[in-house]
């Protein structure tokens, strides 16, 4: 059996098993399977690798995208530059970390770009990135690549540029792109949203939520109510999963 799977702390919300099971079925790969491996601590990874013969690849989710790095044998250059891993290749007893959230977020940013680049505007958009975890690192990498200046909002003073209590309507008015990389609003906590002064949002704003379940989070609803463009995380999810599958297939052939 050729095995793939997802590691994370709580995986009840995961779309990956359904997605990859469908990919395998469509490709006629009857001897491939995808499983969810809930790990209470990332220290449990070496044991999982030891007791799972036939494992070729893993996806990594909350909260292990950064914590997994010291447990890997190597990193590909993109994952090293981002500082987070969401895809692992297992080959010949060695593990290599990759980051496909970058490709996923590039696809969301491309959808936002038309709204942000107003013709004739000399003002480059500025962004707020909410949260400082693994996905935030991929978002920061892509924003840097696109030349968009941004600030990271964190609960902790030493992980971000700003703490939540500092986000006033003036800051929110200036930052026309707001990206939620926190899990706030994710099923089942659908009545949660990042604590922002939403009344400062305008039709010139674009909100991107990495949360994909529900498709329209309370964060995005707050934006839509004020005429902002709202982009959910479902598109990113598909792109990052396709990219992971491409990497795993290339590793098997190579």
Ligand X SMILES: NC(=O)c1ccc[n+]([C@@H]2O[C@H](COP(=O)([O-])OP(=O)(O)OC[C@H]3O[C@@H](n4cnc5c(N)ncnc54)[C@H](OP(=O)(O)O)[C@@H]3O)[C@@H](O)[C@H]2O)c1
The catalytic residues are 65
Between residues 90 and 186, which has the closer beta carbon with respect to ligand X?
186
Residues 246, 247, 249, 252, Cα dihedral to 10°: 170
Between residues 87 and 240, which has the closer beta carbon with respect to ligand X?
240
Distance from C-alpha of 40 to C-alpha of 129, rounded to nearest angstrom: 28
Q: How far is CA 110 from CA 113, 124, 127, 152, 240, in A?
A: 5, 15, 15, 20, 15
Please give the helix or strand (H or E) that residue 103 lies within, else none. helix 101-116
Residue nearest to ligand X (CB): 133
Between residues 91 and 159, which has the closer beta carbon with respect to ligand X?
159
E-only strand ranges, the chain:
2-8, 32-38, 55-60, 74-75, 87-91, 94-98, 126-130, 149-154, 162-163, 177-180, 206-209, 229-231
Between residues 48 and 62, which has the closer beta carbon with respect to ligand X?
62
Residues in contact with ligand X by CB under 6 A are 61-63, 65, 101, 104, 131-136, 154-156, 159-160, 181-184, 186, 210-212, 233, 236-237, 240
Which residue has 């690798």 as its token pair?
49
Q: How far is the CB of 138 from ligand X (least distance, A)?
A: 7
| Structure token digits, residue 108 | 């969301």
Between residues 212 and 245, which has the closer beta carbon with respect to ligand X?
212
Distance from C-alpha of 33 to C-alpha of 27, rounded to nearest angstrom: 12
Q: How far is the CB of 164 from ligand X (least distance, A)?
A: 7
177-180 and 162-163 beta bridge pairing: unpaired
Q: How far is the CB of 152 from ligand X (least distance, A)?
A: 7
Q: How far is the CB of 74 from ligand X (least distance, A)?
A: 21
Report which DSSP code applies to 124. P
Q: How far is the CB of 59 from ligand X (least distance, A)?
A: 10
């Amino acid at each position: 059996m050729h095995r793939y799977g997802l590691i994370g702390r709580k995986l009840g919300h995961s779309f990956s098993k359904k997605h990859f099971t469908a990919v395998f079925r469509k490709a006629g790969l009857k001897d491939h399977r995808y499983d969810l491996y809930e790990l209470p601590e990332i220290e449990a990874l070496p044991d999982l690798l030891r007791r799972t013969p036939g494992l070729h690849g893993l996806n990594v989710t909350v909260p292990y995208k950064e914590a997994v790095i010291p447990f890997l044998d190597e990193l590909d250059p993109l994952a090293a530059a981002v500082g987070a891993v969401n895809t692992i290749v297992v080959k010949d007893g060695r593990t290599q970390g990759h980051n496909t959230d970058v490709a996923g977020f590039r696809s969301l940013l491309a959808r936002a770009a038309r709204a942000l680049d107003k013709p004739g505007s000399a003002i480059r958009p500025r962004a707020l990135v909410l949260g400082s975890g693994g996905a935030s690192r991929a978002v920061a990498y892509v924003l840097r690549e696109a030349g968009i200046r941004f600030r990271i909002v964190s609960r902790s003073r030493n992980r971000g540029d700003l703490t939540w209590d500092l986000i006033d309507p003036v800051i929110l008015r200036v930052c026309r792109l707001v990206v939620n990389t926190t899990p706030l609003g994710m099923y089942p906590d659908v009545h949660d949203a990042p604590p922002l002064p939403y009344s400062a949002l305008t039709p010139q704003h674009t909100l991107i939520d990495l949360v994909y379940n529900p498709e329209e989070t309370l964060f995005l609803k707050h934006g839509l109510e004020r005429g902002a463009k709202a982009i959910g995380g479902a598109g990113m999810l598909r792109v990052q999963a396709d990219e992971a599958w491409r990497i795993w297939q290339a590793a098997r052939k190579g």
